[in-house]
Amino acid sequence: MLSITPPPPSIGETAYRRIRADIIFGRLAPGQKLKLEVLREGYGASVSTLRELLSRLASEGLIEAEGQKGFVVTPVSATNLREIAAMRLLLEGHALAQSFAAGDMEWEGRVVAAHHKLVRMERRMLAQDRGEPETWKRYDWEFHHALISACGSRVLLETHAAIYDKYLRYQMVAVIFRGEIAAQEHQTLLDCALRRDTASAVAVLTRHVDGCVEHTLAGGTLPHGADEP
């Protein structure tokens, strides 16, 4: 059977993906003003195209409109991190249960393969080789996504991915790496998946996410929300 090569992404779509990645990975900092002329030079898209892209990113909650002043990268706060973490747990915990119930041998293979790549990168990080944070977080995402990939709901997977990206932005902004603790939690999640132990997996996931949140807040790098002391 002949394979059909998909057309390359448009200039606008390429610019959208680059800007979105730069926000998530912290290259465009929280609160940074997004000036159209600067973006035009940096991303190679027209001003009219950029306006459309920024409106798209605003609908995703990654940037905010400042009335007639333009756009800024959405600021970060302790309150917002807690809200995002709680939503991630709600979605991922439900998806884990569905995925563990429906997962087959192909699913197990995806989970094991994703964990193998992640554990190799974590060992490098533990050895103080921290020069590839984006690769590390991509492997982290691939593992967590593999765990829930058999849940049977595209809407659930897409919603989880959007929340995960917002959660990831906090990790990149705060430079989060909890070392051996996180690595052991990933190993336990793998073990739970292979024996289909949903209750234990959800408990581990909760410790995993809550631990990351507390580690971030302990670093004192995030401003508090209006409802916090």
pLDDT tens for residues 104-148? 999 999 999 999 999 999 898 888 876 678 888 899 999 999 999
Q: Is the pLDDT of residue 171 over 80?
A: yes
Collapsing DSSP to helix, strand or coil, 11 comes out as: helix
Q: Which of 82, 39, 70 is nearest to 225 (CA)?
A: 82
**How far is the C-alpha of 136 from the C-alpha of 168, rounded, in Å?**
11
Q: Give me the pLDDT at residue 21, please.
A: 94
Q: Give me the pLDDT at residue 221, please.
A: 66
**How far is the C-alpha of 35 from the C-alpha of 147, rounded, in Å?**
39
The pair of structure tokens assigned to 72 is 């800024």
**How far is the C-alpha of 228 from the C-alpha of 220, rounded, in Å?**
14
**How far is the C-alpha of 178 from the C-alpha of 186, rounded, in Å?**
12
Q: Give me the pLDDT at residue 163, please.
A: 96
66 vs 212 pLDDT, higher one: 212
| 139 in Cβ contact with 121 (< 8 Å) | yes
Q: Which of 37, 52, 223, 26 is nearest to 137 (CA)?
A: 26
Q: What is the chain's Cα-based Rg?
A: 19
**List of residues 6+ apart from 41 with CB closer than 8 A:** none
pLDDT tens for residues 3-51? 566 667 788 899 999 999 999 998 999 999 999 999 999 999 999 999 9
- DSSP class per residue in 12-40: HHHHHHHHHHHHHTTSS-TT-EE-HHHHH
pLDDT tens for residues 177-229? 777 898 999 999 999 999 999 999 999 999 999 999 998 888 766 665 434 43
Q: Give me the pLDDT at residue 131, please.
A: 66
Residue type, 105: M
